[in-house]
Amino acid sequence: MTISIETIEFHGIEALRLNGPRGASAIISKLGAQVLSWQTPDGRERLFLSDKAVFDGSVAIRGGIPVCFPQFAGLGELPKHGFVRTRPWRVATERCGEDYALVTLEIEDDEATRALWPHAFHTELTLMLEADRIDLELCVTNTGGSPFAFTGALHTYLRVTQVEDAALEGLYGYDYRDAIADNRIVRETGTELVVDAPLDRVYHDVRRPQLLKAGNLSLGIQSQGFPDVVVWNPWVEACAGMVDMSPDGWRHMLCVEAAAARQPVSLPAGEEWYGRQTLVAV
């Protein structure tokens, strides 16, 4: 198939399908500008999408790469993870080159967002698909007359065959806030993070890339602009309590998120901020 971008319906919602080099593909929904699928040329799906995910906009779609803005998790008064993940975005750019396909979706403040968060903003999410990698870039512009601050994340759900068999490298020596243990700050002493219990950690100021070693689904993960890396797996009990997850959903996912969580980003009037996450199949 030649490199192209097409509008499709995916689980009843409008989405764009990027057909990339060597049969790679990605799907991004206009609802939330959420990447919902990424397949590498070997035909493997690299993102987890819950088979109980809800696509009607009443809640965020469980899986893929939700965009959390202008608040990460419960770090403020806004709805959890902000409000753009359940709002419609517009397509701003579609472009194909010899070895890539690229789309940019955009959203800005309106009456409803200003009722929650009284700031003027323009936010773009660009997805670039190449043969073995995707790059996601979040660009936030303060279009108002006074500064604002935000937290946020690209809340990436990586697909794994069995999370117990996966290991995440690259976090040794960094401090993390452990949301499972009263938000205690702990220094990572392991060279490989293995998931064998609920995990909800914000690693601070991470300067190195991570490597997810997960059999045939191994991935390199790198971020720029986002200082923090969040690692999350709900494990058995919490997953059982989530209406949009199958009982065994926890086993097939690991969130490795590029985040600005510990320190809010301060954006003066008229200024722009960029954050990026790159996933590379290895």
User: Of these, 117, 232, 235, 250, which contacts ligand TA6 (CB under 6 A)?
Assistant: 232
CB atoms within 10 A of CB 240: 14
Identify whether 192 is a catalytic site residue. no
Identify whether 155 is a catalytic site residue. yes
Kindly state whether residue 81 participates in binding ligand TA6, applying the rule CB under 6 A: yes
Q: Binding segment for ligand TA6 among 36-44, 73-81, 245-253, 263-271 (CB under 6 A)?
A: 73-81
Block residue for tokens 């690991």: 254
Choice among 81, 119, 155, 252 that is catalytic = 155
Kindly state whether residue 69 participates in binding ligand TA6, applying the rule CB under 6 A: no
Distance CA 167, CA 192 (A): 6
Kindly state whether residue 262 participates in binding ligand TA6, applying the rule CB under 6 A: no
Q: Which is nearer to ligand TA6, 35 or 129 (CB)?
A: 35
Q: Which is nearer to ligand TA6, 102 or 231 (CB)?
A: 231
Q: Which is nearer to ligand TA6, 109 or 200 (CB)?
A: 200
Q: Does residue 78 contact residue 86 with C-beta atoms inside 8 Å?
A: no
Catalytic residues: 155, 257
Binding region for ligand TA6 (CB under 6 A): 60, 73, 80-81, 155, 179, 200, 230, 232, 255, 257
